[in-house]
Amino acid sequence: MADTADDKLHIVMFPWLAFGHMIPYLELTKHFGRKGHRVSFLSTPRNIDRLPGIPLDLVALVEYVKIPLPAVENLPETAEATSDLPYDKIQYLKIAHDKLLDPVAKFLKSSDADWIIYDFAAYWIGPIARELSIKSAQFSIFFASSLAFMGPTWSLMGGDYRKAPEDYTVAPKWIPFQTSLAFRLFEIKRIFDSFDGNASGVTDIYRFGAGQESADLIMVRSSYEVQPEWLKLLGDLIPKPVLPVGQLPPGQGDYGHSKETDEWQWINEWLDSKERGSVVYIAFGTESKPTQVELTQIALGLEKSRLPFFWVLKTQLGSSDVDRVELPDGFMERVKGRGLVWTSWAPQLKVLAHDSVGGFLSHCGGTSVVEAMSLGKPLIMFPLLSDQALNARLLEEKQMGHPILRNESDGSFTSDSVAQSLRLVMVEEEGKVYREKVKEMRSAYGNMDIQNRYIDNLLNHLKANRPVAKIHST
């Protein structure tokens, strides 16, 4: 039975100020719009200007809402996303983000919103929404496995028995089945401020917990086709409705860019010149970069691997990043013709979809994982921050990716281990299991019929639980 006008929702989306978060939120926004629902996507002006334009078929239903980011001490004026900042300055972005409370509340008060869907950072949204009789949902872009590792709501809000970095190097007590899901010691040390504090005065882990506690619904980027056991566990750990939204594979034509036509033509011609499945694609996302020592070993490992490669290289995270990284002396000359280093924006989806690309050396951010899996490309894994290490463990368990081997205490590795991992996944008989497993799982990640079923199920819940009465004022 078709929806009537009264069945249509007005949904507000409010992601954290990171493109790895905004892009999945935008994918979900487009799904809502294509089902006929109205969506207001909130972010800061500079972020919205850098996001893809709203598809023409959705301009009547989807709107970008620009909310200026307040100035705060130690935050560069032009920095509105994590990609504009080195890691140690992201804490100041959280301070500015928390100052969005009043303008977001003002927008909600003047809107006719039914639901607001918010990210981990905006732990203060739930009480505001409840006061305005707007339903709220916390949507985590983390996979169910990572959320379950983080723990029940009570543990996130200060009750966790894990207090030291070493405590996070084994699976927690509440996971009832065998798993290797855990951080290496060097991985958790890099991000331990998420657990023990930062300049905002609120830990990331508390933000997750407080946001869960006040939400009417928990949404997670996962599917039963990929993580059935983890979704069941997450439902047991969180005492409120937990709904998977699917993997959110992107539409191939959805990512526009003003320079895409010329850039893609050049890149495509270069990829066309390489043999099928021979090229390694390398990218570490918008929010992190290897250290100089790590970058040097990766570059030398690529050289030793003798494989063709296309490397999207980010040398600096915003103007305040003083640790600019550089390729080794003579590297470009030695790999000339075999490797291409690209230092500006590149259309990742189109590169991954090209027949010549046979593998992806990745940081294992959630969106990159979904894009690679939905296009049948196995991963060579080099996690850097956040949940990336947990994603890597999960993919290794499922034999869909192979890590670059590193010292578990300090994270050190050699160019030889880079070359060995690359060749294993790309060409060696022993690595055939990774190439075949990814092809086997491609449909679970990229099938749009499966994805649509998750969206329909989610929307049925949102409609069935929409506010009975709302308070709106201007």
Q: Are residues 384 and 458 in the same domain?
A: no
Residue 100 φ/ψ region, left for φ over 0, alpha for ψ in the -120 to 50 degree band, beta for the rest: alpha
* pLDDT at position 43 over 80: yes
Share of the chain above pLDDT 70, in %: 95
Q: Are residues 134 and 273 in the same domain?
A: no
Distance of alpha carbon 121 from alpha carbon 118, whole angstroms:
8
In a domain, 277, yes or no: yes
Q: Which helix (H) or strand (E) holds 460?
A: helix 448-464
Q: Are residues 103 and 117 in the same domain?
A: yes
**Which pLDDT band holds residue 5 (cuts at 50, 70, 90)?**
low
Q: Are residues 321 and 209 in the same domain?
A: no
* pLDDT at position 106 over 70: yes
Q: Are residues 234 and 271 in the same domain?
A: no
Count of CB atoms situated within 10 Å of the CB of 393: 25
Distance of alpha carbon 26 from alpha carbon 405, whole angstroms:
34
In a domain, 471, yes or no: no
The residue range of the domain holding 65 is: 5-251+447-464
Distance of alpha carbon 25 from alpha carbon 33, whole angstroms:
12
- What digits encode the pLDDT tens for the residues 232-262? 999 999 999 999 999 999 874 544 444 456 7
Distance of alpha carbon 102 from alpha carbon 114, whole angstroms:
19
Share of the chain above pLDDT 90, in %: 86
Q: Are residues 234 and 268 in the same domain?
A: no
Number of domains making up the chain? 2
Q: What's the confidence (pLDDT) of residue 4? A: 56
Q: What's the confidence (pLDDT) of residue 217? A: 98
CA separation, residue 32 to residues 40, 212, 245 (Å) = 11, 22, 11
Q: Are residues 321 and 239 in the same domain?
A: no
Q: What is the CATH number of the domain that holds 118?
A: 3.40.50.2000
Q: Are residues 273 and 148 in the same domain?
A: no
Alpha-helical regions (H) of 398-431: 415-426
In a domain, 474, yes or no: no
Q: Are residues 47 and 189 in the same domain?
A: yes
Q: What's the confidence (pLDDT) of residue 291? A: 93
**Which pLDDT band holds residue 50 (cuts at 50, 70, 90)?**
very high
- Residue 58's contacts (CB-CB under 8 Å, 6 or more residues apart) are 30, 33, 34
Q: What's the confidence (pLDDT) of residue 261? A: 66
| Selection from 122, 195, 140, 87 nearest residue 366 by Cα | 140
Q: What's the rounded mean pLDDT across residues 92-112? A: 97
In a domain, 470, yes or no: no
Q: Are residues 294 and 406 in the same domain?
A: yes
Average pLDDT of every residue of the chain: 92
Q: Are residues 303 and 425 in the same domain?
A: yes
Q: What's the rounded mean pLDDT across residues 379-408? A: 95
In a domain, 404, yes or no: yes
Q: What's the confidence (pLDDT) of residue 344? A: 85
Q: What's the confidence (pLDDT) of residue 338? A: 93
Q: What's the rounded mean pLDDT across residues 432-448? A: 93
In a domain, 39, yes or no: yes
Residue 241 φ/ψ region, left for φ over 0, alpha for ψ in the -120 to 50 degree band, beta for the rest: beta
Q: What's the rounded mean pLDDT across residues 427-452? A: 94
**Which pLDDT band holds residue 83 (cuts at 50, 70, 90)?**
very high
- What digits encode the pLDDT tens for the residues 145-159? 999 999 999 999 999
**Which pLDDT band holds residue 474 (cuts at 50, 70, 90)?**
very low
Q: Are residues 128 and 210 in the same domain?
A: yes
pTM given for the model? 0.92
In a domain, 352, yes or no: yes
Q: What's the confidence (pLDDT) of residue 265? A: 87
In a domain, 472, yes or no: no
